[in-house]
Amino acid sequence: MKKKIIITALGLLIALSAVATVVYTSPKELTPAETVTAFYDEAKALDVEGSKEYVSTDILKAFENGGFWHYGSYGGFISNYEQNVKTVKPIINTQSIKGNSASIDVIITYTNDRKEKQKYLLVKENSQWKIAK
């Protein structure tokens, strides 16, 4: 009887530690390319708050302070982005990381099918890459 209780308790302890490991594992650190793609996905879904997770604090502060007045607000920027950008494809072999800074070239296809190559600059904030330009 004691063996059964000990074995059951041990099994429960192992199961709980496995659950705790899954629950408390920190989120996966995205690469700069993955960050650009994640931002695109959130913006295309018009998830303003979700997209902010991939944008640097300096950019968000600039929106708050009227630095991008032509969009009206960060939400206005996301709405404009969703309406005008068809696809964003990072060019993986152009990714460059130097300390807490990174850059990557992307091909942006607009809704009118015009394509443009742009360089995205990223900074690391709280161990996560954020789009800075």
- Which pLDDT value is given to residue 9? 44
Q: What is the mean pLDDT of each run of 10 residues along the chain (133 residues)?
A: 54 49 61 95 94 94 86 89 94 96 96 96 96 93
Structure tokens at 82: 């969703």
Do 88 and 106 form a contact (C-beta atoms < 8 A)?
A: yes
- Which pLDDT value is given to residue 66? 86
Q: How far is CA 26 from the centre of its chain?
A: 15
Where do the domains of the chain lie, and which CATH numbers do they carry?
Answer: 30-131 (3.10.450.50)
Q: How many CA atoms lie within 13 A of 44 on its CB side?
A: 12
Q: How many CA atoms lie within 13 A of 96 on its CB side?
A: 7
- Which pLDDT value is given to residue 67? 83
